[in-house]
Chains A and B, each alone.
Chain A
Amino acid sequence: MTSDWPLWEVFVRSRGGLSHRHVGSVHAPDAEIAIRHARDTYTRRMEGVSLWVVPSASITASDPAEDGPMFEPAEDKIYRHPTFYDIPDGITHI
């Protein structure tokens, strides 16, 4: 049966104020059942307060063969990190 069911990517919001985070995938015949399967598979230990499911087929991924041009140019651009500023005393949450 499973092999006939499409795959769905599951996103869980662990608590209010945080964004949904990808946690895995489930097989299900349609979106409603996918939500139920996601609930029973990924939130049975109070991991979440909200769920998204997205058909895996709807996700467009970057091509692993293109890793070089895609990601390597960022490697030597350390000045893009905001680490060159002195942070005054007393500033928190940075």
Chain B
Amino acid sequence: MASLTPIDLPAGVTGEGAFDAPVDEEGHRSALFDYVLRLGDDALILGQRLSEWCGHAPSVEVDLSLANMALDLVGQATHFLHYAGQIEGQGRDGDRLAFHRDVLDFRNCLLVEQPNGDFAQTMARQFLYSTWQKMLFDHLSASSDELIASVAAKAVKEVAYHQELSVEWVIRLGDGTEESRGRMERGLAWMWRFIPELFEVDETVTALTGRKVAVDPNVFREDYERRIGEVLAEATLDPPPDQRPILGGRRGHHSEHLGHLLCTMQFLPRTYPDARW
């Protein structure tokens, strides 16, 4: 091997450590946009999914429970997507981002776009997501980004309720009749392969963790797995066998289900762009 050739340092770079913290505002802005979009899209898509139950739930009381959760999530999405639009600075507001973006530009995790199935499958999805979201928002309440911190701090109470409610149902259906137990087992088996994506760390998360804007979800991964395990034990359910994880939602690689969801959600504002109500 030839010895290394000394390189010419650019003007202004002098001392040791000069490369440690490159100031790249454009890179930071684009990572922040991506991250806030993920937070907003998770809430928006899960909120839309839950709202599909409206008028179809097993009882009028459950109908209201699901609609309440949907509204909480759409409210969170509104804050995050408006903020994402401001960060981007291209004149798109939250509505524009929600209703005039194509499927490949959505950055939600795959778990939230999975179909409702029966009530057990919906509760399995809610349990796995809300448990994660609660822990994430607990940490994001201390984000160095003021808006993320304030939305997370407000939303964490809503999410805590979603988690508690879904835990109650997982336990009752799991430890219920043969029929309800089978349904909960199938619901969990469907959703299980989407858990690893929740803990994926890519360059967006890494870039923002350094500035304390984002949090590496692996700091609460053990807590998450412990909590899921406790609830399954109380529900007398075995964890589903590990399956090949499916990733890609954060990069826009979605399952076929998201496109259909967006068709319904975006139809009206796209067909009648000036509609007001």
Contacts and interface: CB of A to CB of B under 8 A. Distances in A.
A40 B165 CA distance: 11
A44 interface: yes
A36 B65 contact: yes
Contacts of B68: 40, 44
A87 B160 CA distance: 53
Contact of B172 (A2, A26, A27, A33): A33
Nearest to A34: B61
- Report the contact-size class of chain B (Cβ under 8 Å from the partner): 10 to 19
B175 to A, nearest CB: 12
B59 A36 contact: no
A2 B58 CA distance: 7
Q: Please indicate which of the listed interface residues B59, B68, B168 has the most CB atoms of chain A within 10 Å of its own CB.
A: B59
A41 B61 CA distance: 7
Given A1-B58, A36-B165, A41 B64 contact: yes
A53 to B, nearest CB: 12
Nearest to B71: A44
Interface residues of A, number: 15
A25 to B, nearest CB: 10
Nearest to B172: A29
Interface string A1-38: 11001000000000000000000001111101100110
B238 to A, nearest CB: 23
Interface of B: 58-62, 64-65, 68, 165, 168, 172
Given A2-B58, A37-B61, A37-B64, 17 more contacts: A1-B59, A2-B59, A5-B59, A26-B61, A27-B59, A27-B61, A32-B168, A33-B168, A33-B172, A36-B65, A36-B165, A36-B168, A37-B65, A40-B68, A41-B64, A44-B64, A44-B68
